[in-house]
Amino acid sequence: MSPVDDDSPRGVDARLLQRLFGYLRPYRAQVAFAMLLALGDALLQLAGPFLTKEAIDNGIRHRDLQHLDRVAALYLSALLAGLLLNYLLTVMTQRIGQSIMLDMRRALFDHLQRLPVAYYDRNSVGRIMTRVTHDVDVLNELFTSGVISIVGDVFALVGIVIAMVQLNAELMGVTFSVLPLIVVVTLVFRVKVRRSFRDVRARLARMNAFLNENLSGMGTVQILNREPRNLELFRDVNAAHRDANLRTVFYHSLFFPVLELVGALAVSLIVWYGGRQVMWSGITLGILVAFIQYTQRFFRPISDLSEKYGILQQSMASAERIFELLDTPPDPAVARGPLVEVPRSEARLRGEISFENVWFAYQGEQWVLRDVSFRVEPGEMVALVGATGSGKTTIASLLMRFYEPQRGTIRVDGRDLRSYDVRQLRRHLGLVLQDVFLFSGTIADNLALSNGAGARESIERAAREVHAHDFIGRLNGGYDAPVRERGASLSVGQKQLLAFARALAADPDVLILDEATASVDTHTEAHIQQALRRLLVDRTSLVIAHRFSTIQDARRIVVLHHGAVREVGTHAELMDRQGIYHRLYQLQYFGARAPRRERFTHDWGEDQVALLDPGIDPA
Amino acid sequence: MIVGLGCVLLTNWISLAQPQVLRLAVDDLYRGVTAAKLGRYAVILFAIALAGGVFKYFMRRLVIGVSRDIEFDLRTDLFARLQAQSASYFQRHRTGEIMSCATNDMSAVRLMLGPGVMYLVNTVTVTTASVAFMLWISPRLTLLTLLPLPLVTLSAWYFGERIQRRFEGIQAQFAALSARVQENLSGIRVVRSFAREDREVEEFGALNREYQEKNLGLVRIWGLFHPSLTFLSGTAALLALWLGGHEVVRGRITLGEFVAFTVYLATLNWPMVALGWVINLWQRGLASFGRIDRILRAEAEIRSPAHPRPMPRVRGELEFRHLTFTYPGESRPALRDVTFGVPAGSTVAVVGRTGSGKSTLLSLLPRLFDPPDGTVFLDGVDVRQLDLAELRSRIAVVPQETFLFSTTVAENIAYGVERADQEQVAAAARVAQLDADVRQFPQGYQTLVGERGVTLSGGQKQRTAIARAVLRDSPVLLLDDCLSSVDTQTEERILRDLRAVMRQRTSVLVSHRVTAVRDADLILVLEEGAIVERGTHDSLLALDGRYAELHRLQLLEEELEAS
């Protein structure tokens, strides 16, 4: 566990706090209003005991029923006002908290869209998710149950003290003699409980981890006859969890009665000391009753306050993690902003691509591409061929500028890739990946990924041209059919056709295509081949080819082996050379000749090649 | 538990004496009293609080403690039950679902049995006793002031339910929000390549705003809940003050009785709120218990027979007889009419493409899935007639995917073996060519492998699984494509050392590589669940069928790699 993932409370960092409170700034007016409400609420809380005193002393004891009725009416209006103020206060604080959460999530999400792709290679999706979800929620707690209600509690405490001083300062002194006791009890309890809660959390985490691991590996457990032993182990972690909980039960069982006991002590003191004063120095009975009630109201805010300090501490850890993410520098390609715009007048790229002595490594000196150079002329289709791990996908990623090469230059239309505004450039490049990633939403949404709310006709036209229209029409809802679980209900072939349609609808000037290796039925295969030809017509394209028919269509074939360009030429030239391409072709060739055996040999081939070259292929 | 509940009763009755003392004190104050008597009252008040506190302590400890014990037992039973379930059960029920049952549902049940029971008894006793005292002071006043209190319960229950429902709506929206973020992060390359960032931000913003709306919808109810409870109990206090005041003035009750009455009324507040809460606890607890019960009641699909055949000494002879097997819930059979025998001590190799049924064949022997009756035999006895634990203890399996547990390397190798000393573990590791790697680890065999062995490479994980099977020393050894993540040279070495082990055992070997299966006594080629070729390496090459084709391709690939 890295230090940043640690949830244990830490000191309250003033700088963090200041930065956090910066988020309150847009809501200054609301915050001020909420504070006013909290003040009003605190005042109203004082009214009850005071009115009780009035009723007893001036109403009941003077047998003044009219006064009693007046006090009752006042009491009722205080209750009603309290209801209203309390409601407004809750809604107001929650509204502020929710607005800040909204702002924070938006800022985080926005920032995530700007981080370099490499950031996602280093950090798991789960970890990043936690920042956007859990950590922001923790901060919400800080703003809603924390900041404003702390102010409310302080108001209430001060108000009660003032009210008691007004009634009888001496009696207040006697009553408050138990105050240090409360503070000590609460503090001791806090420390103990915090420690034992941390214990509970740790043991709960251990128990859950054990459960999760054993459920996932149940097959292995059963094969190895480990059930009896694991049941014993589970009993142990389960018992550890129970015992830790019982310790907190112990503290809770002790704390609340002790706190009440201290309260009873205060009441006893009031009865004893105050009672004597009633006898001899003219404190009224009403004051006595009011005192008892004030004392009871005094305890709650005190234990609340220490709880809120806990919230404050916890939120520090979350704030630190959130700010750490926000402080991660964005992708320089995006951050630097537009340099050379794709000229608006032309609005299209000619589509000339050149790789010049490009070296690239995802990590350190583990070169995935070594001195790669090749050219694609405008309107030409070039096929990249090579075994898995030879670096084909990396070339596509570099062209999309997901990563920057360490050495060498990539040019588009003769200009260095780095001189373009990256997002504009990407609009002119179309990337079709092997694994078709569909978003939740409708089919139409997924086809109109690039051109915003793309017109239905243009989408349909694209779908028709790549033969996707027919199967879309058969879906329940047609173009408005929802895509569930990333298209789990669609076949591989259908997803391919959708990816083609989506690329065609975007109408890119350069197409980068990673052809799917997955086998589909012959009917769909024929459709895919036709769709592919339609997609490539009159377009500069770089195709990571897996199908022989695609390779045959290519003007030139670039053969990659272990990250280096080993052979370049047409199919006929390369076959004549009897080199790497020739061998790769033979491996493919067996598959192409006998469809019945295709999958058989194909699988063996893929697995074998993958085994021989365990290079990094992150796509 | 009974003692705990007894404590609940005692706690309440003792605390209810307090207002009585107050009543006497106030009445005495009104009439005139000595300082000594006042002091006595103060001491009595404190003593009552002390006694009440002691019982309250025991009440909480006992009742809550018992609920923790029940939770412990229930969870242990749940785990034991889950361990008896077969693979198909875990295919139907996702881990997350079961986990939520073992954690969330479990705590809901505990809350129902602990606080749920405690506060229920508490409410009943406090209410009856307080109301009795109040009736004794003034029946008329009692009836009038108690009017708002059932409303407190009702609103606690009403709001509780609605809050719960809206809360679930928020949870669902939160899940949608999370799913959206996850989708965006997983598909970040597609997002970037279509320059779709702005649209993503916009759509996320919409979901985010909806989440905020839903939260504020909850706040509108939630914000009303607590203030209205305060208001209702305040109204009761007001009624007592107002009407009670009239009664005192009219001389129907004393001032002391009046004060005692208001205190009784105040003690009723919390139990009334608690009642509404308890109702919710029970609703949720019962629903959760239903889900737990479903797991506890689920029959294990693969069990030992009632009267298993004894297995004194296992030679390790295997036989598959006209085995046709279809996975539960599927229509196409995974294996079709498979028949072959493996004499004790011999080695059979199975080759075929992915999905041809090789792994299925292996999984039926230790009954990870159940074969039909009379199709799979160990030493001539149907595996379904043998004791399940005993059957599995005679078979060592190296599965295709290695599952390592987050403990030390040594414990992972000795997983499932009762007593294994350091030397045996190291010997097994040497056969699997793992020993040299382990010696380079910082703590050797005591190195922790991390969650699912993340700190080990794929090849090291596979070799750990091989060492595990070697150490198991059982008469039957099943190797399911277990060398796919190791390089060719290591494979050669492992195979060389494994052959010595395999000579003493009956082995079935599934592999992708000709080099691994070449020396087997019998090689079977599976296609779509059926055996299409069978023979030795040489006879199959002579046949010039699929095996021969595979052999050619592999030679070609080796050549390609060398270039």
* Residue B131, C-beta contacts closer than 8 angstroms, at least 6 positions apart: B142, B146, B268
- Do A129 and B182 make contact, defined as CB atoms within 8 angstroms? yes
Residues in chain A with CB shorter than 8 Å from the CB of B80 are 231
B8: pLDDT strictly greater than 50? yes
B294: exposed, middle or buried (C-beta count within 10 Å: 0-12, 13-18, 19+)?
Answer: exposed
Amino acid symbol at B537? H
A598: pLDDT strictly greater than 70? no
Give the pLDDT band of residue A602 (cuts 50, 70, 90). Answer: very low
pLDDT digits (tens, 9 = 90+) for A272-297: 888 777 766 667 878 888 888 888 77
Q: Fill in the DSSP letter of residue B527.
A: E
pLDDT at A309: 74
Most confident of A143-147, A461-465, A555-559, B370-374: B370-374
CA distance to partner chain B, nearest, from residue A74 (Å): 10
pLDDT at B323: 95
**What's the average model confidence in pLDDT over B234-245?**
86
| B492 touches A at CB < 8 Å | no
Q: What residue spans of B351-457 are helical by DSSP H? A: 358-364, 388-393, 409-413, 422-431, 435-440
Give the pLDDT band of residue A597 (cuts 50, 70, 90). Answer: very low
A441: pLDDT strictly greater than 60? yes
pLDDT digits (tens, 9 = 90+) for A221-231: 888 888 888 89
Nearest to B231 among A82, A109, A253 (CB): A82
CA atoms of B538 and B348, how far apart (whole Å): 15
CA atoms of A369 and A392, how far apart (whole Å): 9
Higher pLDDT, A10 or B15: B15
DSSP code string of B308-375: PBP-S-----EEEEEEEE--TT-SS-SEEEEEEEE-TT-EEEEE--TTSSHHHHHHHTTTSSPPPTTS
CA distance to partner chain B, nearest, from residue A14 (Å): 29
Residues in chain A with CB shorter than 8 Å from the CB of B194 are 426-427, 449-450, 506
Give the pLDDT band of residue A607 (cuts 50, 70, 90). Answer: very low
Nearest to A218 among B33, B90, B179 (CB): B90
Residues in chain A with CB shorter than 8 Å from the CB of B166 are none
Angle at which helices B2-31 and B35-83 cross, to 10°: 160
B242 DSSP β-pair partners = none
Residues in chain A with CB shorter than 8 Å from the CB of B224 are 87
Closest alpha carbon within chain A to B176: A440
pLDDT at A492: 76
CA atoms of A28 and A38, how far apart (whole Å): 15
Residue A156's closest CA among A235, A275, A42? A42
Higher pLDDT, B398 or A148: B398
A335: pLDDT strictly greater than 70? no
- Do A99 and B212 make contact, defined as CB atoms within 8 angstroms? yes
Q: What residue spans of A377-514 are helical by DSSP H? A: 392-399, 422-428, 443-447, 456-465, 469-474, 492-506
The answer to whether A93 and A38 have CB atoms below 8 angstroms apart is no
Most confident of A57-66, A247-256, B199-208, B527-536: B527-536
| B393 touches A at CB < 8 Å | yes
Closest alpha carbon within chain B to A437: B187
B375: pLDDT strictly greater than 90? yes
pLDDT at B534: 93
Q: Are strands A353-361 and A407-412 parallel, antiparallel or unpaired?
A: antiparallel
pLDDT at B72: 93
Q: Fill in the DSSP letter of residue A405.
A: -
- Do A95 and B216 make contact, defined as CB atoms within 8 angstroms? yes
Residue A537's closest CA among A523, A559, A556, A553? A553
- Report the predicted TM-score, pTM, of the whole model to 2 decimal places: 0.72
pLDDT digits (tens, 9 = 90+) for B388-426: 888 998 999 988 888 888 889 999 999 888 788 889 999
CA distance to partner chain B, nearest, from residue A185 (Å): 15
pLDDT at B527: 86
The answer to whether A268 and B46 have CB atoms below 8 angstroms apart is yes
- Cα angle A141-A143-A145, degrees, rounded to a multiple of 5: 55
Q: Which of A236, A502, A604 to mutate to test the interface with B (most CBs of B within 10 A)?
A: A604
CA distance to partner chain B, nearest, from residue A63 (Å): 5
pLDDT at A450: 66
Residue A423's closest CA among B261, B52, B539, B200? B200
pLDDT at A522: 64
Residues in chain B with CB shorter than 8 Å from the CB of A579 are 563
The answer to whether A528 and A550 have CB atoms below 8 angstroms apart is no
Angle at which helices B35-83 and A179-216 cross, to 10°: 10
Amino acid symbol at B243? L
Residue B324's closest CA among B530, B526, B525, B509? B530
Lowest mean pLDDT among A329-343, A400-414, B361-375: A329-343
- Do A225 and B220 make contact, defined as CB atoms within 8 angstroms? no
CA distance to partner chain B, nearest, from residue A468 (Å): 20
* Residue B130, C-beta contacts closer than 8 angstroms, at least 6 positions apart: B16, B264, B265, B267, B268
Long-range CB contact pairs, B529-538, < 8 A, 24+? B529/B333, B529/B334, B529/B335, B529/B336, B529/B338, B529/B356, B529/B357, B529/B360, B530/B335, B530/B336, B530/B337, B530/B338, B531/B338, B531/B339, B531/B340, B534/B340
Q: Which of B152, B238, B419 to mutate to test the interface with A (most CBs of A within 10 A)?
A: B238
B275: pLDDT strictly greater than 50? yes
Query: What is the interface pTM, i.e. ipTM, of the complex?
Result: 0.81
pLDDT at A7: 47
Lowest mean pLDDT among A424-428, B91-95, B459-463: B91-95
Q: Which of A74, A224, A227 to mutate to test the interface with B (most CBs of B within 10 A)?
A: A224
Q: Phi, psi (5° rounding) for residue B196?
A: -100, 10
Lowest mean pLDDT among A398-402, A586-590, B467-471: A586-590
Q: Phi, psi (5° rounding) for residue B317?
A: -85, 130
Residue A420's closest CA among A340, A330, A344? A340
Q: What is the number of other CB atoms lying within 10 angstroms of the CB of residue B417?
A: 18
pLDDT at A612: 28
pLDDT at A488: 66
pLDDT at A604: 29
Buried b / exposed e over B468-507, threshold 16 CB at 10 Å, is: bbbbbebbbbbbbbbbbbbeeebbeebbebbeebbeebbb
Give the pLDDT band of residue B456 (cuts 50, 70, 90). Answer: confident
Residue A197's closest CA among A209, A208, A189? A189
Beta strands in B113-167 (DSSP E): none
- Do B560 and A584 make contact, defined as CB atoms within 8 angstroms? yes
The answer to whether B190 and A449 have CB atoms below 8 angstroms apart is yes
Q: Which of B185, B301, B488, B549 to mutate to test the interface with A (most CBs of A within 10 A)?
A: B185
Q: Which residue is it, tokens 């047998």?
A: A63
A589: pLDDT strictly greater than 80? no
**What's the average model confidence in pLDDT over A564-588?**
84
A595: pLDDT strictly greater than 50? no
Q: Phi, psi (5° rounding) for residue A513?
A: -125, 125
CA atoms of A309 and A568, how far apart (whole Å): 69
The answer to whether B292 and B71 have CB atoms below 8 angstroms apart is no
Lowest mean pLDDT among A55-59, A276-280, B340-344: A276-280
Beta strands in A85-166 (DSSP E): none
Residues in chain A with CB shorter than 8 Å from the CB of B174 are 133
Rounded to the nearest integer, the mean pLDDT of chain A is 79
CA A581 to chain centre: 45
Structural domains for chain B: 318-562 (3.40.50.300)
A575: pLDDT strictly greater than 90? no
**What's the average model confidence in pLDDT over B333-343?**
93
Q: Is residue B398 helix, strand or coil?
A: strand
* Residue A54, C-beta contacts closer than 8 angstroms, at least 6 positions apart: A67, A71, A286
pLDDT digits (tens, 9 = 90+) for B157-197: 888 788 888 878 887 888 788 878 878 887 787 787 777 78
| B334 touches A at CB < 8 Å | no
CA distance to partner chain A, nearest, from residue B391 (Å): 10
| B186 touches A at CB < 8 Å | yes
pLDDT at B452: 67
Q: What residues of chain B, 215 to 244, have a C-beta less than 8 Å from chain A?
A: 215-216, 219-220, 222-224, 226-228, 230-231, 234-235, 237-238, 241-242
A345: pLDDT strictly greater than 70? no
The answer to whether A479 and A441 have CB atoms below 8 angstroms apart is no
B325: pLDDT strictly greater than 90? yes
Most confident of A384-388, A441-445, B82-86: B82-86
A441 DSSP β-pair partners = A483
Residues in chain B with CB shorter than 8 Å from the CB of A79 are 231, 234-235, 238
Q: Which of B178, B193, B210, B229 to mutate to test the interface with A (most CBs of A within 10 A)?
A: B193
CA atoms of B123 and B156, how far apart (whole Å): 14
CA distance to partner chain A, nearest, from residue B72 (Å): 6
pLDDT digits (tens, 9 = 90+) for B64-112: 888 999 999 999 999 999 988 888 888 777 777 788 888 888 988 998 9
CA atoms of B6 and B2, how far apart (whole Å): 6
Q: What residue spans of A537-570 are helical by DSSP H? A: 548-553
Both tokens of residue B430?
């040497």
pLDDT at A519: 56
Residues in chain B with CB shorter than 8 Å from the CB of A90 are 219, 222-223, 226-227
Residues in chain A with CB shorter than 8 Å from the CB of B82 are 215, 218
Rounded to the nearest integer, the mean pLDDT of chain B is 85
Residues in chain B with CB shorter than 8 Å from the CB of A452 are 199
Give the pLDDT band of residue A341 (cuts 50, 70, 90). Answer: low
Q: Which of A44, A96, A252, A271 to mutate to test the interface with B (most CBs of B within 10 A)?
A: A271
Residues in chain B with CB shorter than 8 Å from the CB of A279 are 29, 32-33, 35, 38
| B205 touches A at CB < 8 Å | yes
CA atoms of B9 and B450, how far apart (whole Å): 51
Higher pLDDT, A336 or A374: A374
B551: pLDDT strictly greater than 70? yes
A610: pLDDT strictly greater than 50? no
B518: pLDDT strictly greater than 50? yes
Percentage of chain A beyond pLDDT 70 is: 86
CA atoms of B102 and B519, how far apart (whole Å): 49
**What's the average model confidence in pLDDT over B16-40?**
77
Q: What is the number of other CB atoms lying within 10 angstroms of the CB of residue A541?
A: 26
**What's the average model confidence in pLDDT over B204-225?**
86
